[in-house]
Amino acid sequence: MAKHLLAFPDLCTGCNRCTYVCSAVKEGLFIPARARIHIQNFPLHGYSVPCICFQCPKPECLEACPEEAIYKNDEEVVLVDQEKCNGCGVCVPACPYGMIELNADNLAYKCDYCGGEPACVEECYPGAIVFVEPDQEQKKIKALQMKERSALSEAEKKRLERAEIFLKEARPAAAVSA
Amino acid sequence: MNLYAGQVLRVDLSKGEVAKEPLREEWLKDYWGCWGLAVKYFCELVPPATDPFSPANALVIMTGPLTGTLAPTSARFGLVSKSAHTGTIFEANMGGAFGPELKFAGYDGIIITGRADALVYFRIKDGEVSLEDASAMKGQGIFATEARLKAAVGSEAKVLAIGPAGENLITFACVGSEAYRQMGRGGAGALFGSKNLKGIVCQGTGGVRVADLEAFRRKTTHWKQTSLLTEDNLWAKSDGTPILVDVTNEIGLHPTRNFSLGVNEGHAAIGPEAVRQAKLADRACAACPLGCGKFTHINGAEVEGPEYETLCLAGSNCQMNDLEQVIRFNRLCDDLGLDTISAGNTIGLAMDLTESGRRDFGLRFGQAEDYLAVVSEMANLSTARGKDLALGARKLAEKYEAQDLSTEIKGSEFPAYDPRGNYGMGLAYATSERGACHLRAFTIFASDHFNIEALAQDVVNGQNLNAIKWSMCFCDFWGTVNTEIMADLLTAGLGRPVTAEELDRAGERIWNLTRLYNLKAGFTGADDRLPRKIMEQKLGNGPNEGRVFSKEDFARMLQIYYQLRGWDAAGVPTKEKLAELGLQPL
């Protein structure tokens, strides 16, 4: 069975080391705004939500791409062939999780599991992000997270909308977006 | 540039102008970043006689070279200015995530002068920088202000903000960020207030470059594994600072009942186990794997914390052995914008005055209702007693002739280590550039708490190391970091050799420059003093029962310290010492 990247918001301390290392590996400098993983932080409520690509079984980014620039490899990881990408951007609103975006060169980019050794996992000391063959309980957690879909168009707003749902579950008394 | 953004923002609030200017690269090799570099900028810009509340005073906010990288615990940043609470130059630094965000926006620092006509905030979104109307936030707490400023820029923007305490120029008002992170000591919040600056919001989408990314990552991983995440530091992850409640009670220097006792018999109620019971989550500053912040919740009250200083000053020192009440107090201070150390210390003094019948503030040890009510009264100056306590311990004691009961140096209230139980802390408090402070030298783990010679050397070493450590923006809680590690990371990051020796000298240089500034500002060796209480009143219980730190012992220790520093008997750096460090008299 293939390994999956899993996120457990209850364990996330909001340190963002995952976004720092991701951007360093992928962009060559520490530029977390360009990371393939994001953390939505709610410091007032003591909560942070890692936003990850689920490598969907039926990826909507892939289905939306008119150029067939998005494809799946043998390990079921969804990848972008930037040679084929024409920058139309329809994949961005298509992803319900806000996890594919266009870079400064107008090319789509997303998480590729670092070819099977995700750098973010190495940096996650609290264990909020793991890369494992999921057990039944972990599969259930992932399925529940995938159920929360955002219909907004901008990736950043999608991530915030979804993260606020998890915040409300974890901190029921929290006045979200107050 | 590698590591640095290469640019600072210059804000003139009087003219309403914002400009971008190149970083003074020629200062970097001697002052490096954060504390050191901010001190250099500040000393060049603000004459020592300047009134802290005048438009001529400057706020120099500065990140460090490693801020915004994976170097662990390096996300801090600092502010240097002249304090209205102490009249000294001071530095306050903060964790959270504002520092990296400023670097990602393309700036190493912000230099703010002048005074706006009406309340404004400073908006930074990458290259777009502007001053904006903040009148809608007037009187609002830090939490609400942060939410509004984030809404104006983006959900992951980072904010510095003041609450009503800062707007009301309470001289120990803090600047808050990420709700529970503060520039706590020295009254940075009042300085924001004096400039009519409600806050700064920043979002950056750029990055920080390093010369050799592969080597830099290898070194950060190496030092993280072999130094940071080792037994010496992992208390921060497992317990956080509440562990010090147990440690200081055991040593017998845990300030209790307005510094009359060294042991709080009821400390278990506010100790590490109690905090663990109340904990919902661990929280971290940017780039820190430790996650020392403990987010707690009891009966609807929640806060990230309380940290040790708050547990002691607002807990034991007020005999408030009730974690829920300390959490409530902590949250109020964080939102209204008061430093919990100064506030807790001053309230403890007012309780002492009330209970001893010398002045009735309606505040009694262990009585929660007024203890909580007075926080808002202080921040908002809404009652007579609130106005009194907002003066801080020194002026409150002067007003009611209670200098025998107060614990402050240069106006800065004592933090949570009684010098009668460790003489090094007394010397550290007396010689800190910003008045009584535990973040310049920290000697409570010395093998002998009363060995004057050894502790004087420990204080010098600690001050010099911390001067460079805070200039690198490392956290206090990487207790095993040293200039070898710093030099190794800088070498990979900058792409040129950096030595531990040059960093050691920079630390000593920075310490001496702050001394020169304070001497020019009118301070003398006579201000390196201890409060009467510490010299004359015997500690009331515990292992150090009956102890004082006598005037004679302190005077002897101070002279040893001056000699170790290469200062004359009046505490003035000698010409030889200045020449050795490449400093000119101010």
Q: How many structural domains compose chain A?
A: 1
Q: Does A63 touch chain B (CB under 8 A)?
A: no
Residue A58 belongs to a domain with what CATH number? Answer: 3.30.70.20
Residue at A178 is within a domain: no
| Among A20, A44, A178, beta carbon nearest to B70 | A20
What are the tens digits of pLDDT across the range B208-267? 999 999 999 999 999 999 999 999 999 999 999 999 999 999 999 999 999 999 999 999
Name the residue in chain B with its Cα closest to that of A10. Answer: B281
Reported as a single tens digit per residue, the pLDDT across A119-150 is: 999 999 999 999 999 999 999 999 999 999 99
How crowded is the C-beta side of B30, counted as CA atoms within 13 Å?
A: 16
Residues from chain A that touch B229, judged by Cβ atoms under 8 A, are: 125
- Closest chain B C-alpha to A143 CA, distance in angstroms: 24
Residues of A in contact with B154 (CB under 8 A): 156
Report yes or no on A139 lying in a domain.
yes
pLDDT on residue A174: 59
Residue B159 phi, psi (nearest 5):
-130, 140
- CB A125 to CB B229 under 8 A? yes
**Cβ-nearest to A15 among B178, B284, B295:** B284
Confidence check: pLDDT of B585 > 90: no
Q: Rounded to the nearest 5°, which phi and psi values hold at B281?
A: -160, 155
Tokens linked to A114: 């670092």
Q: Does A173 touch chain B (CB under 8 A)?
A: yes
Instruction: Classify residue A28: in a domain, yes or no.
Output: yes
How large is the average pLDDT for residues B152-156?
A: 92
Q: Note the helical H segments in A76-135.
A: 91-94, 119-123
pLDDT at site B459: 98
Does some domain include residue A110?
yes
Backbone φ, ψ for residue B181 (5° rounding) = -110, 140
Cβ-nearest to B289 among A33, A47, A125: A125
Of the residues A10, A20, A21, A156, the best mutation for testing chain B's interface (the one with the most B CB atoms within 10 Å of its CB) is A20
Helix/strand/coil for B130? strand
Strands A47-51 and A70-72: unpaired
Q: Which amino acid is at B241?
A: T
- % of chain B with per-residue pLDDT over 70: 100
Q: Give B421's DSSP letter.
A: G
- CB contact (8 A) between residue B283 and residue A14: yes
A104 at interface of B, judged by CB pairs closer than 8 A: no
B189-192: long-range contacts, CB 8 A cutoff, minimum separation 24: B189/B162, B189/B163, B189/B165, B189/B337, B190/B53, B190/B84, B190/B85, B190/B165, B190/B166, B191/B52, B191/B53, B191/B57, B191/B59, B191/B81, B191/B83, B191/B84, B192/B59, B192/B160, B192/B162, B192/B166
CB B427 within 8 Å of CB B456: yes
Domains of chain B as residue ranges with CATH: 7-203 (3.60.9.10), 240-406 (1.10.569.10), 419-477+499-581 (1.10.599.10)
Contacts of B280 in chain A (CB under 8 A): 46, 171
Kindly state the DSSP code that residue B539 receives in the 8-state scheme. P
Choose the mutation target among A30, A31, A114, A121 for the interface with B, i.e. most B CBs under 10 Å: A30
pLDDT (tens digit, 9 = 90+) per residue, B85-120?
999 999 999 999 999 999 999 999 999 999 999 999
Question: Does any CB of chain B come closer than 8 Å to the CB of residue A125?
Answer: yes
Determine if the peptide bond prior to B164 is cis (ω within 30°).
Answer: no
Q: Which of A17, A28, A40 sits opposite B287 (nearest CB)?
A: A17
Q: Which residues contact B141 (CB under 8 A, 6 or more apart)?
A: B163, B164, B335, B336, B337
User: Minimal CA–CA distance to B274: which of B204, B334, B215, B327?
Assistant: B327
Q: State the nearest Cα–Cα gap between B108 and chain A, in angstroms.
A: 15
Full residue range of the structural domain in which residue A159 is found: 4-170
Left (φ > 0), alpha (ψ -120 to 50) or beta: where does B381 sit? left
Number of H helices, E strands in chain B: 23, 17
- Which H/E stretch holds residue B93? strand B89-94
Task: Look up the pTM and report it.
Answer: 0.98
Exposure string of A47-65, with b = 16+ CB inside 10 Å and e = fewer, is: bbbbbbbbbbeebbbbebb
Euclidean distance between the first and the last CA atom of chain A, given in angstroms as a whole number: 43
Q: What is the model's pLDDT at position A177?
A: 40
Specify whether the backbone of B522 is left (phi greater than 0), alpha (psi in -120 to 50) or beta: left
List the pLDDT tens digit at each of the 178 positions of chain A. 789 999 999 999 999 999 999 999 999 999 999 999 999 999 999 999 999 999 999 999 999 999 999 999 999 999 999 999 999 999 999 999 999 999 999 999 999 999 999 999 999 999 999 999 999 999 999 999 999 999 999 999 999 999 999 999 999 875 444 3
* Within a domain: A140: yes
CB contact under 8 A, B295 and A27: no
Contact B338, B165 (CB under 8 A): yes
d(CA B404, CA B531): 8
* Residues forming beta bridges with residue B127, ordered by sequence position: none
What is the share, in percent, of chain B residues with pLDDT greater than 90? 99
Contact B217 A47 (CB under 8 A): no
pLDDT (tens digit, 9 = 90+) per residue, B360-415? 999 999 999 999 999 999 999 999 999 999 999 999 999 999 999 999 999 999 99
What span, in angstroms and rounded, lies between the C-alpha atoms of A130 and A153?
28
By C-alpha distance, which of B432, B420, B480, B424 is closest to B454?
A: B424
Nearest to A31 among B104, B146, B287 (CB): B104
Helix, coil or strand: residue B1: coil
Q: Which two tokens stand for residue A44?
A: 């007032």
> If residue B121 lies in a helix (H) or strand (E), which one and from where to where?
strand B120-125
**Predicted pLDDT at B128:** 98
Chain B contact set for A103 (CB, 8 A): none
Q: What is the pLDDT of residue B570?
A: 98
Give A1 to chain B, closest Cα distance, Å.
Answer: 30
Within-domain flag for A49: yes
* Residues of chain B positioned with their CB less than 8 A from the CB of A27: 207
Within a domain: residue A177?
Answer: no
Number of C-beta neighbours around residue A134 at 10 A:
18
Contact check, Cβ <8 Å, A156/B213: no
H-state helical runs in chain A: 17-27, 60-64, 91-94, 119-123, 136-147, 155-170
Cβ of residue B211 closer than 8 Å to a chain A Cβ: no
Q: What pLDDT band is residue B139 in, cutting at 50, 70 and 90?
A: very high
- What does residue A80 show for φ and ψ, rounded to 5 degrees? -110, 125
Q: Which of B547, B395, B555, B485 is nearest to B74 (CA)?
A: B485
Per-residue DSSP letter, B567: B
Q: Is the pLDDT of residue B471 over 60?
A: yes
Segment A17-32, tens digit of pLDDT = 999 999 999 999 999 9
